[in-house]
């Protein structure tokens, strides 16, 4: 199954154009949707998740028309939004059982088997009787994945899933998503570059509602091979370099700015060649 998006556009009543003729081809596997906050990622995900209407364009999931066959799409869709509500004084097992009922799993025996399997899959079995309010941030996100997997969806959308997680929980979440993405479409919408590099072979970058890149992560990196230059400068020199060179990123290391410059040839002046990272790809594309 593949997700085909063609020329999607969306403008809100306040005049903000969140999407501008976005077209994407998303195959089975992990797909990273990368962009800064406010880029239009969540709008695109809500449209694909049948929660919002587009002004123009089309989207198909296999033979399904995403924009028109919403009930059919929802039967094969799992969705973990950036923020999702739970009943805090209910155990993980009880809430997952309740959500399974709402998703149409009527048989009690089938439902118990499903809930047990999902809790084991997301490594929450040992805390299945604990109230959701006692779950850590990572546990809540794993619970969110469990509820999204009810019905064995063919398309899974996760929106900013690792924001606020500590490194250990983030790694556990990476492993879980990688396993889930082996046999279905998983769209990972995030502003965290590391998430995409760790998990996805294909990606897109959206900025100001426009598609700035679509393709493999390896191809994106190869396009910058030999074109990234790095130098540590004094703070007082930064303005001069900004005026003279195409600086794509600046970060402070030990109190001094380290700048990355995009150039087909060496800028000289003490710059060293640097291996391109996906962060360089991201900044180069959104600054274009």
In the chain, the number of structural domains is: 2
- Picking from 179, 205, 221, the residue at the C-terminal end of a domain is 221
Q: What is the pLDDT of residue 13?
A: 95
- Picking from 189, 221, 253, the residue at the C-terminal end of a domain is 221
Q: Are 44 and 19 in contact (CB under 8 A)?
A: yes
- If asked whether residues 156 and 23 sit together in one domain, one would say yes
- If asked whether residues 151 and 24 sit together in one domain, one would say yes
- If asked whether residues 242 and 140 sit together in one domain, one would say no
User: Strand (E) positions, 62-200?
Assistant: 64-65, 77-80, 155-159, 185-190
- If asked whether residues 79 and 145 sit together in one domain, one would say yes
- If asked whether residues 141 and 127 sit together in one domain, one would say yes
- If asked whether residues 133 and 232 sit together in one domain, one would say no
Q: What is the pLDDT of residue 191?
A: 84
Q: What is the pLDDT of residue 177?
A: 85
Q: What is the pLDDT of residue 223?
A: 94
Q: What is the pLDDT of residue 192?
A: 84
- If asked whether residues 255 and 267 sit together in one domain, one would say yes
- If asked whether residues 233 and 147 sit together in one domain, one would say no
- The CATH number for 199's domain is 3.40.50.300
| Greatest extent of the chain over all pairs of C-alpha atoms, in Å | 72
Which residue in 108, 192, 198, 96 sits closest to 144, CA to CA? 96
Q: What is the pLDDT of residue 183?
A: 87
- If asked whether residues 193 and 276 sit together in one domain, one would say no
pLDDT in tens, 52-82: 999 999 999 999 999 999 999 999 999 888 7
Instruction: Give the residue ranges of the chain where pLDDT is below 70.
Output: 85, 288
- Picking from 188, 206, 221, the residue at the C-terminal end of a domain is 221
Take residue 134 and report the two structure tokens written for it. 């006692």
Which residue in 276, 288, 259, 257 sits closest to 193, CA to CA? 276
Q: How many CA atoms lie within 13 A of 151 on its CB side?
A: 22
User: Strand (E) positions, 117-193?
Assistant: 155-159, 185-190
Q: What is the pLDDT of residue 163?
A: 74
Q: What is the pLDDT of residue 91?
A: 94
- If asked whether residues 189 and 260 sit together in one domain, one would say no
């Amino acid at each position: 199954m593949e997700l085909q998006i063609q020329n999607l556009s969306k403008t809100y009543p306040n005049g903000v154009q969140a999407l501008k003729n976005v077209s994407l081809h998303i195959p089975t596997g992990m797909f990273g949707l990368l962009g800064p906050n406010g880029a239009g990622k969540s709008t695109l995900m809500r449209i694909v998740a049948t929660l919002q209407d587009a002004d123009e364009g089309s989207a198909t999931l296999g033979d399904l028309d995403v924009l028109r066959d919403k009930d059919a799409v929802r039967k094969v869709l799992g969705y973990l939004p950036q923020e999702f509500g739970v009943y805090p004084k209910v155990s993980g097992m009880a809430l997952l059982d309740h959500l399974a009922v709402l998703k149409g799993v009527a048989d009690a025996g089938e439902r118990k088997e499903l809930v047990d399997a999902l809790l084991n899959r997301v490594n929450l079995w040992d805390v299945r009787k604990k109230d959701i309010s006692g779950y850590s941030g990572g546990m809540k996100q794993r619970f969110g994945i469990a509820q999204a997997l009810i019905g064995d969806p063919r398309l899974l959308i996760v929106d900013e899933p690792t924001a606020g997680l500590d490194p250990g929980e983030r790694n556990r979440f990476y492993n879980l998503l990688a396993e889930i993405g082996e046999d279905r479409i998983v769209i990972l919408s995030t502003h965290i570059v590391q998430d995409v590099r760790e998990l996805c072979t294909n990606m897109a970058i959206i900025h100001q509602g426009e598609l700035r890149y679509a393709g493999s992560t390896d191809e994106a990196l190869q396009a910058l091979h030999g074109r990234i230059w790095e130098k540590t400068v004094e703070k007082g020199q930064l303005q001069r370099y900004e005026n003279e060179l195409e600086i794509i990123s600046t970060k402070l290391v030990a109190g001094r700015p380290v700048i990355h410059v995009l150039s087909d040839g060496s800028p000289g002046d003490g710059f060293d060649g640097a291996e391109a990272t996906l962060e360089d790809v991201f900044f180069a594309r959104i600054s274009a």
